[in-house]
Structure 1
């Protein structure tokens, strides 16, 4: 497979899961083949590819859009996003001098709106840690209760023969519930950065959050109001948690950002909103606490705009202790679910979604908000209970990519690094995994009545935006 890991999402993992073999040798229940979306408001083509999908989804009902401009790309970006409240899927297409955003109704495939051409900044030389060129991507953020599709790219601004220019992340925001052709962005913003890797733009909880691995600056992240263009930079002082001693919390990063300030996660342990709440005040029962206060227990493993997942050591054995996992409200710190689980620490080992990228793993949350999954841990936020999918000495460890409203998680066996991986679905009510047929495409982002899939066609060379309906 030639498409590398995505900036945000699971294209690389999904490509491995599907064996890089979702080639369109037949109609697969749809129109297959070229499948280009119309640009005049018509519907996109039907489903693409021969690979099976989970039984819950109907390959005969859906639509697709091959991203042919990415054929053969080794870029880490995956330029597609879903706006769950607007029930819209948006993606980038190549255009003269840049790119355009198209947004389609998730259920019907009808083109809701398309943007004017947007030009990214010229790339930063050797900016990507894996040597791949940076291309634009898209994400969905919420601002003041409304969803926006944000197209963004990392590059250089103002560089020419006479000027060194400056390194920026350029963003353009479009209302997810918009309509019409040639839509202009409501706001464009350029955020100065200094990064060699880990550049990430995501929903911070109230606007866009830009983070990166800082190199020569004191800025660790920037929150952007996508309606006004106002930016709030977070530096070293903003990442200090008052409850931490001078050496007990180190290597902080911004996990989310709201009206009360940044949600900060420390690699050494400790997380919260400075001056508002601290993780130890919401620790699960039975976790270890340093009696001397020198070491802080609890470390962020994944985050969404509304929730944060964490892993804790249990008992007095310190580093050799068992572990517990938890989910907390990102605004208040309130404990919402916990369980004992001795799985690998996703945040410490590098995310299975973003291996060695320096980016914050995404906590997958079901559309109705009841279920959440972070790699080997899944939670029912209504009951406060969890399902541990760690290996037990016999069964292999399972990592989940997505979870649906009816409590079905989709993922794969984690130990398999190459080739067609063993794909599974897990009923969170029982915790029992079921192996799916080899090469099954998994839902990347479940939506209201559909799910977004990201198969590969052309011998694993071309990614496809594919949306399939749930069976009733």
Structure 2
């Protein structure tokens, strides 16, 4: 069912190009040299000469050089990347409690286009940011949730989304009335807003069209009573919405987990844990007669269109069921996938669970590159803690499936694109720094 949203603003995109060396000479913020006072941004880009390197030199994995690179000071805690264009997007706070989306070319460090400043409903927190892909087009999307007017009625709360075409920054805003804290997924091709249960709203990033999908329209698989218990919309794939129940899961209008269960598993036990546009990561109980059924479970990466298991691996059952499963991270090419202590070489159709003989997984993987190198940390609670400097940093080579410890103070790349690793750290003034270091020659 489609409905017209009251608040929908389409604003023409604005493209700003800045000369990097001129900015370095003048010491100004990229693109802000002659802006209005109300538009002055706190973040600055500090490009580095090839011989001098950036102002801040971090200890990083040996695959990267700190002899040259670029640095941004004052970015948002979260960033988004477009591997198709090599742009990284970040938010910075402007005067008057406004925010502006900026981009940087990771290969050169040159500022790209920037968006107009805007206010968000909730001034206490940074808006969220992600990349969504629909067909051959990509968009940076930011969102925040808050109130309008006096906030006395439930209808006054809404989710505000800003959508930017990654190629030129053309912008449109969509505001969706919403009750309760929303769950937002940008796995694509639409942006999915859900209530954490069975009701959802889809936003088309190209047109801004908003579509509602109620629990009654989810096309529950026949003969699956558990599908109607604890039903939850997990996100969207190129095949359709991914929906799960107390047990078993399905793609709306597509396949049913029971029909694609990996060999040697209980066909009615599938639980989706993470979703990308092309893939679904799920865990399965082993068949009751399996030798390790009492101690292990199987993790499988499924093709989002067919449901076929692309790669799988057995892993010990955790002593305590996690409250939140690790999110899958793909390499830019899509050849490798990591999630917590799991690693999959999708091209070779192989998986590995990193755990000790007692079944304890001390390793958390956070980033993976097209060269088949993953970065993470031992004894880190999750990927966010590993990227923030927690635990003992390590690298893992898919060619050998072995790990190497890095220097104890080594920082890990949050992403890598165009041969440049993007690192994040926070200084004593609580400012977030983004630093781009190229791979070693």
TM-score w.r.t. length of structure 2 = 0.80
What SS is found at the alignment partner of 2:258?
A: helix
Asked if the contact 1:44/1:110 (under 8 Å) is kept, the reply is no
1:193 Cα deviation from its structure 2 partner: 2.5
Out of 140, 144, 147, which is 2:138 matched to? Answer: 147
Alignment deviations for residues 429-453 of structure 1 (CA, whole Å, 9 cap, x no partner): 3221111111211111222311222
Out of 251, 254, 274, which is 1:273 matched to? Answer: 251
Q: 1:248 to 1:466 in 2, by over 3 A?
A: same
Q: 1:263 to 1:402 in 2, by over 3 A?
A: same
Out of 392, 408, 416, which is 1:438 matched to? Answer: 408
Q: How does 1:214-363 map to 2 (within 5 A)?
A: 220-239=199-218, 241-247=220-226, 250-257=229-236, 261-266=240-245, 268-289=246-267, 296-316=268-288, 320-342=294-316, 344=318, 349-351=322-324, 361-363=326-328
Asked if the contact 1:364/1:374 (under 8 Å) is kept, the reply is yes
Distance in 1 separating the partners of 2:317 and 2:294: 13
1:362 Cα deviation from its structure 2 partner: 3.1
What SS is found at the alignment partner of 2:216?
A: helix
Q: 1:250 to 1:239 in 2, by over 3 A?
A: farther
Which structure is richer in relative contact order (CA contacts within 8 A, separation 6 or more)? Answer: 1
Distance in 1 separating the partners of 2:58 and 2:287: 46
Asked if the contact 2:380/2:391 (under 8 Å) is kept, the reply is no
In structure 1, runs of 5+ residues without a counterpart are 1-34, 71-77, 124-132, 290-295, 353-360
1:211 Cα deviation from its structure 2 partner: 3.5
**What is residue 39 of structure 1 aligned with on the other side?**
31
Distance in 2 separating the partners of 1:53 and 1:467: 11
Alignment deviations for residues 314-350 of structure 1 (CA, whole Å, 9 cap, x no partner): 130697352111101123212111122226499x513
Q: 1:249 to 1:337 in 2, by over 3 A?
A: farther
**What is residue 169 of structure 1 aligned with on the other side?**
159
Residues matched between the structures, number: 393
Which range moves more in the overlay, 416-425 or 368-377? 416-425
Alignment deviations for residues 9-58 of structure 1 (CA, whole Å, 9 cap, x no partner): xxxxxxxxxxxxxxxxxxxxxxxxxx974225996434454531111111
Alignment deviations for residues 281-319 of structure 1 (CA, whole Å, 9 cap, x no partner): 222211124xxxxxx211112222221111111130697
**What is residue 349 of structure 2 aligned with on the other side?**
384
Distance in 2 separating the partners of 1:433 and 1:395: 16
Asked if the contact 1:255/1:303 (under 8 Å) is kept, the reply is yes
Alignment deviations for residues 359-390 of structure 1 (CA, whole Å, 9 cap, x no partner): xx531000111000111111011111111112
Out of 176, 186, 193, which is 1:210 matched to? Answer: 193
Distance in 2 separating the partners of 1:416 and 1:304: 22
1:108 Cα deviation from its structure 2 partner: 0.6
1:91 Cα deviation from its structure 2 partner: 0.6
Distance in 1 separating the partners of 2:228 and 2:161: 32
Alignment deviations for residues 406-449 of structure 1 (CA, whole Å, 9 cap, x no partner): 21111112466999411111112322111111121111122231
What SS is found at the alignment partner of 1:280?
A: helix
TM-score w.r.t. length of structure 1 = 0.75
Distance in 2 separating the partners of 1:107 and 1:323: 42
What SS is found at the alignment partner of 1:442?
A: coil
Asked if the contact 1:450/1:467 (under 8 Å) is kept, the reply is yes
What SS is found at the alignment partner of 2:84?
A: coil
1:167 Cα deviation from its structure 2 partner: 1.8
Asked if the contact 1:65/1:466 (under 8 Å) is kept, the reply is yes
Distance in 1 separating the partners of 2:313 and 2:68: 38
1:148 Cα deviation from its structure 2 partner: 0.8
What SS is found at the alignment partner of 2:241?
A: strand
Asked if the contact 1:142/1:206 (under 8 Å) is kept, the reply is yes
Asked if the contact 1:80/1:465 (under 8 Å) is kept, the reply is no
1:84 and 2:74 aligned: no
In structure 2, runs of 5+ residues without a counterpart are 1-26, 34-43, 49-53
Distance in 2 separating the partners of 1:117 and 1:317: 61
Asked if the contact 2:174/2:208 (under 8 Å) is kept, the reply is yes
Q: 1:384 to 1:110 in 2, by over 3 A?
A: same
Distance in 1 separating the partners of 2:380 and 2:433: 26
